[in-house]
Structure 1
């Protein structure tokens, strides 16, 4: 997973993540659903509350955050708390062996967390003092940092959800999932 530089200027780091684990999506509470679930025109618009959304990964980046150089490679955790999320899935039907299935062609997600906590281990090649200070700086300015790079997290999570949905929707016929 790669998250590009921020859009407003606070973060000038291309963030590369590997071995990404995402926790908390399945424990979300659905607040509202607007559904158009016809095979010819499939759209789900879902508002969720996620009490905790946690990303664990191996990271690698080199750049600048809030005008301060940052370099590191190691383990990280990004915790988002009390997240208002919106997910929009759009798709089209396709036929396979005489049955109709859905292909989610586009997923869009927005995340509005109440709080974000970053923890990057091994910043500055393991310099404990500099690493602790950078993590403190990130967390003290987490609202600004996440506002800048949040769209990258949203796009990456949308792709994950889209792929998860297609794993199901490509195997279970439309009529079995959504009996009319």
Structure 2
């Protein structure tokens, strides 16, 4: 399903593209645009565990942990071994075909990065390497704390896209055909 099933209305999950991901986390305003996420093909289903790459355009402003940060430009984030656990309320509804279909009523998730994350932000502090170098070193050395601050809107966008794909599958295929016998 990672490559998508267009005839069922299921978009590709690898690569996954987002026009915009926005967040306001603990005094840090962040915007990621034209983002491509790759690596979902390598996910295992016990929770979701995979390594993903995000590439696109960013805009940051505010406080990241203890540091003031600002910048706008291209970015790359490599997240190694992120585990996402999602829970949902599954209900049965009548489909347009007159058969019973599953529907995800609501969902919640938690996430944890197990191995690490590497951040590259072009043009931090308007390209001032004297300011940007130490900040990028600090961010990469403290990846776990940085991920706690910036990951929620990113992970939410990814999980929402996966839920959308599963929802499209449930809408297209009756529940009786999805039961494991």
* Residues 105/14 of structure 1: CA separation in 2 closer, same or farther (3 Å cut): farther
- C-alpha separation in 2, matches of 1:121 and 1:106: 37
Moved over 4 A (4+): none
- C-alpha separation in 2, matches of 1:68 and 1:79: 21
Equivalent position to 2:41, from 16, 26, 36: 26
Q: Larger strand proportion, structure 1 or 2? A: 1
- C-alpha separation in 1, matches of 2:137 and 2:64: 12
- C-alpha separation in 2, matches of 1:120 and 1:3: 17
Match of 1:9 in 2: none
Counterparts of residues 146-161 of structure 1 (less than 5 Å)? 146-161=147-162
- Confirm whether residue 174 of structure 1 aligns to residue 180 of structure 2: no
Structure 2 residues without counterparts, runs of 5 or longer: 1-20
Report Cα offsets for 1:29-87 as digits up to 9, x if no partner: 233xxxxxxxxxxxxxxx2332x122222111211223322111111122211223312
Q: Is the 8 A contact 1:54 1:79 kept in 2?
A: yes
- Following superposition, the deviation at residue 15 of structure 1 comes to 1.0
- Following superposition, the deviation at residue 13 of structure 1 comes to 1.0
TM-score w.r.t. structure 1 length?
A: 0.76
Count the aligned residue pairs: 159
- Following superposition, the deviation at residue 173 of structure 1 comes to 2.0
Q: Is the 8 A contact 1:107 1:158 kept in 2?
A: no
> How well do the aligned residues superpose, as a CA RMSD in angstroms?
2.1
Q: Relative to structure 2, which stretch is displaced further, 128-137 or 69-78?
A: 128-137
Q: Is the 8 A contact 1:109 1:157 kept in 2?
A: no
Counterparts of residues 1-180 of structure 1 (less than 5 Å)? 1-6=21-26, 12-31=27-46, 47-50=47-50, 52-95=51-94, 96-113=96-113, 114-178=115-179
TM-score w.r.t. structure 2 length?
A: 0.76
